[in-house]
Structure formats: structure tokens, C-alpha cells
């Protein structure tokens, strides 16, 4: 595997200055909360089974506390008195090549930053905050896995993470518009592009125009039924994804967020609506303002909240009998646990389908599908990703559902692989697709 | 001996205050995203319902360890209570003394069982550093000696000396979690509260 060798050789080539730079960046990411987290672990080990990596492969390296420990060991050695005076006693370690390797393995190779361990930790350590600081440090040392970095570079260079040209994007939108017009038998049904002053700027995951045009068509159908005043952007502001959340280079993440802010300003829209994507929502809604160090001058919402509003306000009407196949719901970590969007999608689904079965556990206790944290883009860890996804596959099987609804296109990619690997025989759809199928237009 | 305990306690308080001050020195994060919920309510949840055993899958899956841990903590706190009373020259009424005996004995058993678990379970052993064993031993011995002192008052000097040692060690090793538990849990609650995740609305195990 060339990427594996490449990362190994980058590790081998590290010099003293690299470690120093890594430590400086790591320190710069720590605030009061993180310093407290790094002083708190009591090594009780109770967090082990909260992690899907450990559930799938019960080794020490997969225990969240162990992943935290390799980071905390370096923190103690460099930033605490006891770590300097008695490193052996408190488990402090010098940041050397071996530790850098352990960091890479722990935070890139064995963690999807899902945060399930945080809420199950005896003390309450929000571990992904520490792992993100470590990823940032490794990035400063040139140790970001190159395929993860390539995804970010695509966004920076092409304005979207799949390097779709503006021409292709616009053509796809026009083609989907024609499809929608045929579907709803209304020549006025539109996918507006660059409509200045529209109330809503809708953003999508590039996987939609590239591989899942029906998802975009479904969202457009919902907007059409709600008679919404909305638009897409033809410039980079159409892509909601931001893998800067995963390479943890805040300047790059901020530059990608700026695309959305610029599009909102250019088009003069009131509300930025993030399509069905967990990390995209987390990045735009929660981290974006922190990366840019300023509050947005506009409202930001998930399309799930919007569909919930439409149904509550009677702007759209659905007939659940149009969706009779048993459905279950996947909770994307960045949307639910880290994003706070938990009940809207449930209210929407309950109204749109006849049989909805929850996975156990669900909501903030959900298991990651295994594809989060940038894992989908890091080929070198594919086997672990598929293996750890076995936990989600088991949850799906237990529901007996035939459709898995996943409000996240990254999760959908992973779930499609799990579908094959674990022979789940399910369909995987977005919430908007379910709603679009249930929409009744004569009400 | 009393002076030693007092000096140790002063050291503990000062060292913990220093640790707290140093952590504060990392600075507070100014947040620009609009909150979806209340950090205060999130923190309140983290310290109340969020700590209930049934709110945490990790507890439900490890009930014996949880029970041992709770007993251990209760035993150590009871031992500290007894030590304060002993230093002040108060005598406990009989029924309170019996309760303290039960707590300290169960605490010592809980601590010892966790010590054995740490040695026996390969994964937990791999997770441990010497501090984990030292911290456990000092605390377990403190609870055990407190229990024995209630039966054999002549053991007071030994018990108090051990207590002083525990106090001196507390800020050095992981016993510092008696401070950081509160700050960490507050930050966790505030983080998830701000994002609207805490307090949770639905039943995540339904
Ligand atoms: S954040 Fe998720 S993947 Fe990472 S250690 Fe915690 S539970 Fe495991
Ligand atoms: S549950 Fe929390 S305190 Fe216990 S080992 Fe895991 S991270 Fe450390």
C-alpha cells in the first residue's frame, strides 16, 4: 500500500524541529477545558465498550482511554511538573518518533471522532476535543494521511471535495430540474441557481450531484411542495462538506467555511440550509464560526429542522401509507451527538412512514457507522473501518428494517459498504427521499 | 501527628489550588457559534441525571466495577470524615459509628477488588501506570486503617500517618481527579448543553 509506506517514511524523516512544531500546535489548541480533560483520566477502563472499534476488536489499542493516554503521556511530560519530575510514575512520555507513530495510529487510525466515549466516560472527558488537537499537531508535522489531505485540497482548489467543475455542477442541476418537472408534472418546478435575495441558500454534499442525484431531487421536491423561496449557488458555496473538520487544520477548514459565507453574502440569502450531512452540519453550524472567529450574520439550519417546520406548519402534507416498508434511522454522530439535531428527523419520519423502529441504542448514545472522522477517505484504515462498522450492521439487523434512513451522505457511503459486507439486504435512503415519496400535493 | 496531618492538608489544598490555577491559565475559549441550548442546563444534567447508572451504558455493562468504585469512594470519604472528627476530638454516636464502620470496610474491600482487577485484567493492566497502583493502595489502606481504628483506637498514629501520606500524594498522582472530576464534568455538560444534546429529550435505549 503506497500511502502506508509514504506515511511511514514521513515518520522516519521527522527531525527535532518537527516534534517541537507539533508540540507548539498541540499546546495552541488546548484551552482550560482540554487541560482539565488531560488531567482527569483515572484509567478505570469503563469506556472500552463504548467505542465501536473496541466492540469489533477488543484490544488495548482500541480502548478510548488508551488512545487518550498516548496523547496525555506527552502532555504530562511537556506541560506538567510531575511529568517532568517523575515521568515513570505518572506515565509521561517524551514526544519522539515512537510516540508520533502511536499518535497517528490512535487518532487517525482508530478513531472516528464520534464522541460516544465522552458521554460514557466515568469522569466525562470529551475525548474528540483532545484527538482533534493531536490531529492538528500531526498535521503541522506533515503527518496527515495524504488521501484525507487530498480531500481537503480538492475543496480548497476546486471549491468542492470531489473536484466537480462548475460546468458539470450547473448541468447536473439543470438535468435534475427537468427530472423534477416530469416527476411532479409542473414545468414551473425549479432548482433555482444564484437567485439573489432568495430566503434560503441550500447546500449539498458533492456525492449528490455525482452519485445520488435522486437525493437532491427529493430535497428540491420538498422545497417545491412547500413553495419555498430557495436557491443553490453556482460558485463554491454549494458544497456543504468540510474535511477540515477531520484534518483539523483550522485555517484550511476556515477557508472552506468562508465559501458558504461568501455565497450567502453574494446572494443576500437569509438562511443557510445544510443538506443531509453530519459532518457538514457540524462543520458549518458549530465549528465554522470558531474557525472564522466571528458569528454568522445569518441564520443556519439543517434541512431536517426545515422539513420538521414544514410539516408542523402544514406547508407540506405527507401520506405515510406511501412508505409501508419497515424503516429504521441511523443517527450521524456529528449531526446528533455533536450537533444537537435529534428529534426533528424522528418527528418527520414518524409522519412519513408507517413502520419506524429505533435502533438500540439511539440518539446521543448511537454507534458511529464507522465512516466518520474522515475514515472514509483514509484507505490505509479501510479494514478497520469495515470491521468497526460491524457494530452498526448488527444494530440494523436487529431492527428487522428493510430501509435504513441516514441523514448523511458520508454515512450512506459507509452503510452501502456495510450492506454488502454484512449482507444486510437493506435500502439506504435520506430523510428527504422518504418525505418526497410520501408527499401528497392535493391536500 | 496532628500537625503532620494539618500540614499535609494545607499542602493538598495549596497544590490543588495551584493545579486549578494552572489549568485556568490555559484560557477560556470564546465561542462564536450561536448556542442551541443552555450550557448551564447541560452542566446541571451532567452532574445529576447524566451521572445516574442507567444513563450510562458503560456503567450498566460494568456494574460490579461501578459498585466497587462507589463503595471505594464512599469509604475514603467516610474515612476523611472520621479523621476530621478524630482531629477535632469529637466522638461519633454509636449508630453513626457503625455506619462509618460499614462504609470504610466496604470501601477497603471495594478498593482492594479494583486493585486486584487492575492486576488480573490484561487490558486494564496495560492501561495502568505505577501511579494507578500507588493511588489505589494509599486510598484503600486509608479506608482500611480508618475501619481498624474504630475497633483498635491505639492504631490512630498509624492511620493518621497514612492519611498524611495520602494527602501529600493526592495532587501528585491521579487522586487529583477529586478536583478535575468537577471541572471536566462541568466542561462536558456545558459543551453538550450548548449544542442542545444535554439534557436529552428521548429515550436513547428505547
Ligand atoms: S471518539 Fe468514538 S471512535 Fe474515537 S475513541 Fe471515542 S468512541 Fe472510539
Ligand atoms: S472511562 Fe474515562 S476515566 Fe475511565 S478510563 Fe475511560 S477515559 Fe479514563
Q: How far, in Å, CA of A183 to CA of A7, rounded?
A: 49
Residue B157 lies in a domain: yes
Burial class from Cβ neighbours inside 10 Å (0-12, 13-18, 19+) for residue A165 reads exposed
Contact A32 B28 (CB under 8 A): yes
Burial class from Cβ neighbours inside 10 Å (0-12, 13-18, 19+) for residue A14 reads middle
Contact B205 A90 (CB under 8 A): no
Residue B150 lies in a domain: yes
The interface predicted TM-score of the complex, written ipTM, equals 0.97
Residue B21 lies in a domain: no
Q: What is the pLDDT of residues B93-117, one digit of tens each?
A: 999 999 999 999 999 999 999 999 9
| Best residue of B183, B193, B201, B203 to probe chain A, by most A CBs closer than 10 Å | B183
pLDDT at position B203: 78
Chain centroid offset of residue A392 CA: 16
Whole-number Å distance, alpha carbon A115 to ligand 1 midpoint, is: 6
| Beta-sheet pairing, A327-329 with A200-203 | unpaired
Element (H, E) at A164: none
Residue B45 lies in a domain: no
Task: Residue A393: count other Cβ atoms within 10 Å of its Cβ.
Answer: 23
Please list the ranges in chain A whose pLDDT falls under 50.
443
CA distance B65 to chain A (A): 8
Show Cβ contacts of residue A271 under 8 Å, excluding neighbours closer than 6 positions.
A199, A200, A201, A298, A299, A300, A301
B195 and chain A in contact, CB less than 8 A: yes
Q: Whose Cα sits closest to atom 2 in ligand 2?
A: A121
Residue B177 lies in a domain: no
Q: Which residues of B touch A89 (CB under 8 A)?
A: 129-131, 134, 172-173
Q: Which residues of B touch A63 (CB under 8 A)?
A: 123, 127
Locate the ligand 1 atom nearest the alpha carbon of residue A333 and give its number: 2
Residue B182 lies in a domain: no
| Best residue of A26, A29, A32, A254 to probe chain B, by most B CBs closer than 10 Å | A32
Of A65, A339, A366, the CB nearest to B127: A65
Question: In this structure, which ligand is nearest to the CA of A69?
Answer: 2
Domain span at B81? 2-6+53-165
Domains along chain A?
A: 2-143 (1.10.1060), 150-310 (no CATH), 316-440 (3.40.50.10700)
For the record, the C-alpha cell of A43 comes out as 484509567
Q: Which residues of A touch B188 (CB under 8 A)?
A: 118-119, 121, 124-126
**How many CB pairs lie under 8 A apart between chains A and B?**
192
* Residues in the ligand 2 pocket, defined by CB under 6 Å: A 41-47, 64-65, 68, 121-123, 125
| Beta-sheet pairing, A271-274 with A200-203 | parallel
Q: What is the pLDDT of residues A121-158, one digit of tens each?
A: 999 999 999 999 999 999 999 999 999 999 999 999 99
pLDDT at position A36: 98
| B174, B19 contact by CB (below 8 A) | no
Chain centroid offset of residue B112 CA: 15
Q: How far, in Å, CA of A117 to CA of A62, rounded?
A: 11
pLDDT at position A57: 98
Q: Whose Cα sits closest to atom 2 in ligand 1?
A: A114
Contact B187 A46 (CB under 8 A): no
pLDDT at position A201: 98
pLDDT at position A443: 44
Contact A49 B58 (CB under 8 A): yes
Q: How far, in Å, CA of A345 to CA of A339, rounded?
A: 13
Residue B61 lies in a domain: yes
Question: Confidence class of residue B202 from pLDDT cuts 50, 70 and 90?
Answer: confident
> How many distinct structural domains can be found in chain B?
1
Residue B129 lies in a domain: yes
Q: How far, in Å, CA of A382 to CA of A172, rounded?
A: 30
pLDDT at position A4: 57
Element (H, E) at B99: helix B94-120
pLDDT at position A3: 54
Mean pLDDT of B157-185: 98
pLDDT at position B204: 82
Q: How far, in Å, CA of A371 to CA of A381, rounded?
A: 10
Q: pTM above 0.95?
A: yes
| A382, A109 contact by CB (below 8 A) | no
Amino acid at each position: 500500500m503506497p500511502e502506508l509506506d509514504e506515511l511511514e517514511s514521513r515518520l522516519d524523516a521527522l527531525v527535532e524541529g518537527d516534534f517541537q512544531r507539533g508540540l507548539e500546535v498541540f499546546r495552541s489548541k488546548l484551552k482550560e477545558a482540554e487541560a482539565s480533560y488531560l488531567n482527569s483520566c483515572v484509567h478505570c477502563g469503563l469506556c472500552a465498550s463504548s467505542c465501536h472499534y473496541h466492540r469489533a476488536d477488543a484490544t488495548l489499542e482500541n480502548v478510548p482511554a488508551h488512545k487518550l493516554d498516548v496523547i496525555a503521556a506527552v502532555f504530562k511530560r511537556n506541560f506538567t511538573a510531575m511529568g517532568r519530575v517523575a515521568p515513570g510514575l505518572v506515565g509521561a512520555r517524551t514526544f519522539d518518533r515512537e510516540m508520533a507513530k502511536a499518535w497517528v495510529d490512535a487518532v487517525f487510525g482508530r478513531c472516528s471522532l464520534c464522541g460516544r466515549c465522552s458521554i460514557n466516560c466515568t469522569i466525562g472527558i470529551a475525548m474528540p476535543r483532545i484527538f482533534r488537537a493531536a490531529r492538528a499537531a500531526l498535521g503541522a508535522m506533515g503527518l496527515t494521511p495524504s488521501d484525507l489531505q487530498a480531500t481537503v485540497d480538492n475543496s480548497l482548489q476546486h471549491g468542492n471535495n470531489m473536484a466537480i467543475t462548475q460546468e458539470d455542477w450547473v448541468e447536473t442541476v439543470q438535468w435534475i430540474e427537468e427530472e423534477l418537472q416530469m416527476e411532479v408534472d409542473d414545468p414551473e418546478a425549479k432548482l433555482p441557481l444564484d437567485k439573489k435575495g432568495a430566503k434560503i441558500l441550500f447546500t449539498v454534499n458533492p456525492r449528490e450531484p455525482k452519485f445520488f442525484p435522486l437525493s437532491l431531487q427529493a430535497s428540491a421536491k420538498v422545497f417545491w411542495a412547500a413553495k419555498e423561496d430557495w436557491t443553490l449557488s453556482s460558485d463554491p458555496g454549494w458544497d456543504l462538506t468540510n474535511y477540515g473538520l477531520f484534518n483539523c487544520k483550522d485555517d484550511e477548514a476556515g477557508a472552506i467555511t468562508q465559501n458558504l459565507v461568501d455565497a450567502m453574502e453574494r446572494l443576500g440569502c437569509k438562511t443557510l440550509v445544510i443538506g443531509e450531512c453530519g459532518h457538514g452540519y457540524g462543520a458549518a453550524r458549530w465549528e465554522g464560526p470558531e474557525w472564522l472567529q466571528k458569528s454568522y450574520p445569518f441564520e443556519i439550519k439543517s434541512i431536517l429542522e426545515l422539513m420538521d417546520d414544514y410539516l408542523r406548519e402544514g406547508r407540506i402534507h405527507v401520506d405515510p401509507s406511501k412508505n409501508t416498508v419497515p424503516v429504521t434511522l441511523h443517527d450521524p454522530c456529528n449531526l446528533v451527538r455533536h450537533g444537537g439535531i435529534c428529534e426533528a428527523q424522528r418527528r418527520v419520519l414518524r409522519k412519513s412512514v408507517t413502520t419506524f423502529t429505533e435502533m438500540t441504542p439511539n440518539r446521543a448514545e448511537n454507534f458511529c457507522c464507522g465512516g466518520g472522522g474522515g475514515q472514509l477517505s483514509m484507505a490505509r484504515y479501510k479494514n478497520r473501518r469495515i470491521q468497526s462498522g460491524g457494530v452498526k450492521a448488527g444494530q440494523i439487523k436487529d431492527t428487522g428494517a428493510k430501509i435504513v434512513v441516514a441523514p448523511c451522505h458520508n454515512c450512506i457511503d459507509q452503510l452501502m459498504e456495510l450492506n454488502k459486507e454484512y449482507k444486510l439486504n437493506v435500502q439506504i435512503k435520506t430523510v428527504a427521499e422518504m418525505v418526497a415519496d410520501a408527499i401528497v400535493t392535493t391536500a | 501527628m496532628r500537625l503532620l496531618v494539618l500540614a499535609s492538608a494545607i499542602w493538598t489544598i495549596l497544590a490543588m489550588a495551584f493545579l486549578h490555577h494552572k489549568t485556568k491559565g490555559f484560557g477560556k475559549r470564546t465561542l462564536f457559534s450561536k448556542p442551541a441550548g443552555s450550557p448551564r442546563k447541560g452542566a446541571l444534567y451532567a452532574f445529576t441525571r447524566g451521572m445516574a447508572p442507567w444513563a450510562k451504558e458503560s456503567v450498566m455493562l460494568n456494574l460490579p466495577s461501578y459498585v466497587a468504585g462507589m463503595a471505594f469512594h464512599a469509604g475514603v470519604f467516610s474515612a476523611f470524615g472520621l479523621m476530621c472528627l478524630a482531629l477535632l476530638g469529637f466522638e461519633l454516636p454509636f449508630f453513626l459509628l457503625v455506619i462509618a464502620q460499614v462504609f470504610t470496610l466496604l470501601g477497603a474491600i471495594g478498593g482492594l477488588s479494583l486493585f486486584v482487577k487492575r492486576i488480573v485484567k490484561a487490558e486494564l493492566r496495560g492501561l495502568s501506570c505505577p501511579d494507578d497502583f500507588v493511588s489505589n493502595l494509599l486510598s484503600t489502606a486509608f479506608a482500611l486503617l480508618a475501619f481498624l481504628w474504630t475497633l483498635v483506637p491505639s492504631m490512630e498514629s498509624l492511620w493518621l500517618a497514612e492519611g498524611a501520606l495520602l494527602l501529600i500524594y493526592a495532587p501528585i498522582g491521579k487522586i487529583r481527579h477529586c478536583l478535575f472530576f468537577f471541572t471536566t464534568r462541568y466542561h462536558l455538560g456545558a459543551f453538550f448543553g450548548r449544542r442542545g444534546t444535554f439534557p436529552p429529550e428521548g429515550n436513547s435505549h428505547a
